[in-house]
Chain A
């Protein structure tokens, strides 16, 4: 406890860095998976390639990826951009499938009804299909969020600060309190972000709470 009291500003710094890496990656995974997931949903034949292909990203080990990435995208080895790009890839590996499944789950009769009312294709997608896919999208996003919050810690190995820095530093210097702080705060932050996503869903998807 003494360690935490003396080093709270370090922990807070690490926490902000952690969020600064994780939140953009989570947001980008969500946004970039929308068009890919939509293609997989709209064009059946593309589904296998897109869903399986993006899932395979998850099989790439993170450390080698983070080392190779700067050469591929022209960043420096210690740039936070590498971490965000890699984590966005891992996020999309999960989110593309969720997006396609969520769109699939929208009742066909409802889509037919919307077409009969005179929604054009793009307008129907934005105003009907995407909102109704909301619960499925949210479920996928929550998995991506928890996974990303945990994966960010790997950045510490490359010298990019995050809550993972508390493990690496703690191990090197033999400070158990620092390691424990790293683990607990990573988990707590993941739960907090998850709760925030649930709250956003509660606000944006009011009909899912409609009493029947």
Chain B
């Protein structure tokens, strides 16, 4: 996701929306006599224009919450508001076309070439093939993809390239809200940190609202303006900035999740005038910047 967004005309005039979950409960009845409660009575506000990360282990209901925003999941009770509009009152198919959606792996349609994957939503909205493809090529540049990859099939790309295509596709219809479900989970750590950094830049430039789901606290800290730590069934253990969470973890669950449990306190050690950050076992994990002689 290169810094050059000037090529893309994403200065959509409508502003980024807020999202609000009100007493949301989702119960999957399934076939058995034991219905699964995915999320229970969740009330949560997502600030307009923020990059908010929902972080939690499996069973925390984070994907259920995300999918209730674009009506992929119908709540058992409660509601989801985008700005002040209850999504249940909106046409589901049209709503989804206005919301960017990126998911892990297989999110790309394997039978469509890169350029046609990116062009899907404009095409669904009735854009001509030529204009949708032109827009797709612009977006490839925005997300840092070589335009020579345009005619490849998804299977011919690396994992990192596939995720860039996924982001480009989500941006194609100028969404003011984007939902991301562990989009970088399947790429290797170095590519992942590149993608995270570029997503931050992109979000700063576009000013859209991004709701991002992950189980990786490091990713949450790297990305989130706001971080929502989810415990079981969507119970909100804590909501705040990364700094707030680390400085004041609400309880032991959050502290454990952040890796701040017993024996995980960090300390500084002077090494030839450089301040090294050491973990509890005395192994160096970083360097304090601005402390060099």
Contact = CB atoms under 8 A, between A and B. Distances in A.
Q: Do A and B make up one complex?
A: yes
Interface of A: 107, 109-110, 112-120, 123, 128, 131-132, 134, 205-207, 210-212
B206 to A, nearest CB: 19
A89 B197 CA distance: 59
Given A117-B96, A118-B121, A118-B124, A109 B107 contact: yes
B124 A117 contact: yes
Interface stretch (B48-56, B97-105, B264-272): B97-105
Given A110-B109, A207-B111, A207-B153, A115 B96 contact: yes
Interface of B: 67, 70, 72, 93-97, 101, 103, 105-112, 120-121, 124, 152-153, 155-156, 169, 179
Contacts of A207: 110-112, 153, 155
Given A116-B103, A134-B111, A210-B156, 11 more contacts: A110-B107, A115-B72, A116-B96, A117-B101, A118-B93, A118-B95, A119-B93, A123-B124, A207-B111, A210-B153, A212-B156
Nearest to B166: A113
From DSSP, what is the main secondary structure of chain A's interface residues? helix
A115 B152 CA distance: 23
Contacts of A120: 93
Contacts of A114: 109
A179 B67 CA distance: 65
Nearest to A119: B124
B106 A107 contact: yes
Nearest to B31: A44
Nearest to B94: A118
The 10 closest A-B pairs by CB, nearest first: A118-B97, A210-B153, A116-B101, A118-B96, A109-B106, A113-B107, A210-B155, A207-B111, A207-B153, A212-B155
A6 to B, nearest CB: 52
A132 B112 CA distance: 10
A120 B92 CA distance: 9
Contacts of B94: 118
A106 to B, nearest CB: 10
A196 B93 CA distance: 39
Contacts of B107: 109-110, 113
Given A113-B103, A115-B72, A132 B96 contact: no
Contacts of B101: 113, 116-117
